[in-house]
Structure 1
Amino acid sequence: MDYDWITMTKRLTALSLLLLAGAAQAGLPTLNYSCPGNIHLHTDEGGPAYINGDEAKLKKISDTTYDVVGGGVTVSIGINPDGTASVMYTGKHGANGICQEE
């Protein structure tokens, strides 16, 4: 094989890995969701997070999963591979449900 071809292939492979690593570490995006029971979630990119306008505790479970806890409610956020979010809540007395993007 030609030396230049091998060098270019290695560089392209390294660049691809760097781009993938950056995408995987994107973190928590800005979100606005409404949950049953008049629960509203807002997150700023990278945090903080708010439940009904009050700053809540943001806990990173993994690179794609977060819990937001405040006001007797836990809102769980999952970031899908396409960048969209799946958001659900658990409240007092076993209340739970799926939240919708506002």
Structure 2
Amino acid sequence: MKKIAQVISLLVLSGAASAAIPMFNAACPGSIDVHADAGGPIYINGKEGALKKFSDNYFEAKAEGVTISLMINPDGSADVSYTGKHKANGVCEVKKG
């Protein structure tokens, strides 16, 4: 019985440690605006992006010919970059909220 309680405790703790999409706004080169609500979705220039989760800390959203890459840091903050048309790419400036 003790082992079952330990396993349940570990499962609960591991679930609490997984990251979710934080709320943020970001400005990317080429006049690309990105917004995410807490937990998603991610909007690219006002259009909801098709979201793909690769891990608890890495997501991609695609819309308007742009792919937004979202990396969630251990402190819950977001790092955002983009890949656009004609191989354009770069780092976006993130603002909380």
Give the TM-score normalised by the residue count of structure 2. 0.81
Aligned residue pairs, count: 92
Partner SS state of residue 22, structure 1: helix
Pick from 73, 81, 88 the counterpart of residue 95 of structure 1.
88
Pick from 43, 49, 59 the counterpart of residue 52 of structure 2.
59
Q: Does residue 63 of structure 2 align to residue 73 of structure 1?
A: no
Partner SS state of residue 22, structure 2: coil
Q: Distance in 2 between matches of 1:30 and 1:16?
A: 27
Q: Does residue 14 of structure 2 align to residue 34 of structure 1?
A: no
CA-based RMSD of the aligned residues comes to 2.1
More helix by share: 1
Give the TM-score normalised by the residue count of structure 1. 0.77
Runs of 4+ in 1 over 6 A off after TM superposition: 14-17
Read off the aligned partner of 1:85 and give its amino acid letter. A
Percent identity, aligned pairs only, is 51
Partner SS state of residue 67, structure 2: strand
Structure 2, unaligned runs of 5 or more: none
Structure 1, unaligned runs of 5 or more: 1-10
